[in-house]
Amino acid sequence: MADGPVTQEEVLLEGFLALDTPEGLRAELIDGEIIVTGVPDGEHERHISVIIEQVFTKAVIDMDFSGNKGLKVPRAAWSVPDHVIPDGTLVVSEQRIFRGAAPWMPCEGVSMVVEVTSSKPDRDREAKRHCYANGGIPLYLLVDREKGSVTLFSDPAKADYREAIRVPFGKSIDLPAPFSFSLETADFL
């Protein structure tokens, strides 16, 4: 924390980092709000499994995956970063980014994050999308179960992505380098 008076934002961050979240729950700090979410349902996890299986078998380069990696995302309007936990975080294996990483690591080196919508889909569609763009994460893959679609956001600029490609479940979506393959979504139907 900085020298001088403690800001409300710093108090919020300190309280957030001191949380002892019960097993099976995860806490995030997004837009100045502490958000606690429960265990995802089986369909949610199946969608993640479908994506990761394809990444591991089709990507042109070896990738590492984490389903619980905390990311610190800087924010221009705040003195403290957002703290988000994507459903999936993918990094190039040879960069060894996860090795020795703190529970909350910076976004540098993250190739893609994945979210599958749950009980509060607008958080994944808006707030988390802006977080990931702020963090400069090149690719954000959103599986929107309510809309029956997959959207790949790319080309982050400040608080949003400049490009988005959306396909309905059942269609494939091309993942650019470092993945360089077409993600099949028929198993989402």
CATH classification of the domain holding 167? 3.90.1570.10
> What's the pTM?
0.90
Domain limits at 52? 40-188
Closest CA relative to residue 136, chosen from 117, 115, 153? 153
Quick one: CA dihedral 116, 122, 124, 129, positive or negative?
A: positive
pLDDT along the chain (189 residues), means of 10: 74 85 84 85 94 98 95 81 95 96 95 93 93 96 97 94 98 98 97
In a domain, 180, yes or no: yes
Q: In what order do the strands lie in the sheet with 26-30?
A: 33-37, 26-30, 82-84, 70-73, 104-106
Report the number of distinct structural domains present in the chain: 1
Q: Which residue has the tokens 């988390």?
A: 128
C-alpha separations of 68 from 28, 35, 54, 170 in Å? 11, 15, 19, 27
In a domain, 7, yes or no: no
> Would you say residue 118 lies in a domain?
yes
